[in-house]
């Protein structure tokens, strides 16, 4: 992938996830910032060795306007902080049960819904997403199993997230190669 294409993906994802951060700010009633993303390209084998343990993954499929899927990764302890902030109390979740997983999914659904709306405006077409699927990764089992497509290359977009007086962390969005190519193609038209 060319550096120019990485820049395009970074800009599109910055707009998209910026809208997601705004949705999070509304949910938490706190100012949220994201930094300019770092875009890297990795192959499927590297996903198998990815050090994403003790994190929450949320898979979103695009159902209209853009074809493909992405995987949103946030550390489990950071999700605990976000959920506690939303509920107005400190909490640390050791194990995500059905209720906490559902709440985490709803937070991500709000973020990704806003992200899809931003993409709709950016591309001047309707972009819809599926209901998010959430997973808790407890061991270094790698992310490859969460991608159900045959792409050999995955695009990783990493952001720094800051929630005023609450949290400073990073999160990642993984895109399959086909959706990354489509985003670049739509921007070059």
Give the model confidence (pLDDT) of 119-147 as tens digits. 888 878 888 888 878 777 776 556 667 76
Position 5 scores a pLDDT of: 92
Among candidate residues 7, 6, 4, 23, the one with its CA nearest the CA of residue 108? 23
Residue 183: is its pLDDT beyond 90? no
Q: What is the pTM of this model?
A: 0.85
Phi, psi of 99 (to 5 degrees): -70, -45
Angle at the Cα of 22 from the Cα atoms of 86 and 5, rounded to 5 degrees: 130
Residue 161: is its pLDDT beyond 90? yes
H helix and E strand count, the chain: 5, 8
Residue 103: is its pLDDT beyond 90? no
Position 34 scores a pLDDT of: 92
User: Tokens at residue 171, please?
Assistant: 């999160």
Among candidate residues 56, 160, 170, 162, the one with its CA nearest the CA of residue 107? 56
Residue 45: is its pLDDT beyond 80? no
Lowest-pLDDT range, 3-12, 60-69, 132-141?
132-141
Residue 87: is its pLDDT beyond 80? no
Position 11 scores a pLDDT of: 92
Helices (H), the chain: 3-28, 44-48, 76-87, 98-123, 177-188
Mean pLDDT of the chain: 82
Is-contact 12 107, C-beta < 8 A? no
Position 188 scores a pLDDT of: 81
Position 146 scores a pLDDT of: 72
Task: Measure CA of the first residue to CA of the last residue in the chain; give whole Å.
Answer: 18
What is the share, in percent, of the chain residues with pLDDT greater than 70? 85
Residue 51: is its pLDDT beyond 70? no
Among candidate residues 123, 128, 138, the one with its CA nearest the CA of residue 182? 123
Q: Quick count: other Cβ atoms within 10 Å of Cβ 4? A: 10
Domains of the chain: 3-188 (3.40.1550.10)
Phi, psi of 5 (to 5 degrees): -65, -40
pLDDT tens digits, 13-31: 998 899 989 999 998 999 9
């Amino acid at each position: 992938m060319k550096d120019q294409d990485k820049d395009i993906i970074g800009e599109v994802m910055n707009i998209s996830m910026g809208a997601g951060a705004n949705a999070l700010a509304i949910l938490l009633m706190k100012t949220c910032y994201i930094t300019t993303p770092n875009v890297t390209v990795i192959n499927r084998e590297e996903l198998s060795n990815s050090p994403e343990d003790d994190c929450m993954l949320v898979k979103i499929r695009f159902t209209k306007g853009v074809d493909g899927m992405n995987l949103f990764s946030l550390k489990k302890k950071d999700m605990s902080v976000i959920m506690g902030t939303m509920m107005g109390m400190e909490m640390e979740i050791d194990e995500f049960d059905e209720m906490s997983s559902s709440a985490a999914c709803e937070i991500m659904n709000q973020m990704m819904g806003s992200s899809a709306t931003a993409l709709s405006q950016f591309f001047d077409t309707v972009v819809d997403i599926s209901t998010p699927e959430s997973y808790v990764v407890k061991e270094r089992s790698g992310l490859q199993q969460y991608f159900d497509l045959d792409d050999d290359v995955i695009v990783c977009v990493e952001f720094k997230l800051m929630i005023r007086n609450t949290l400073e962390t990073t999160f990642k969005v993984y895109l399959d190669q086909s959706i990354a190519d489509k985003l670049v193609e739509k921007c070059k038209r």
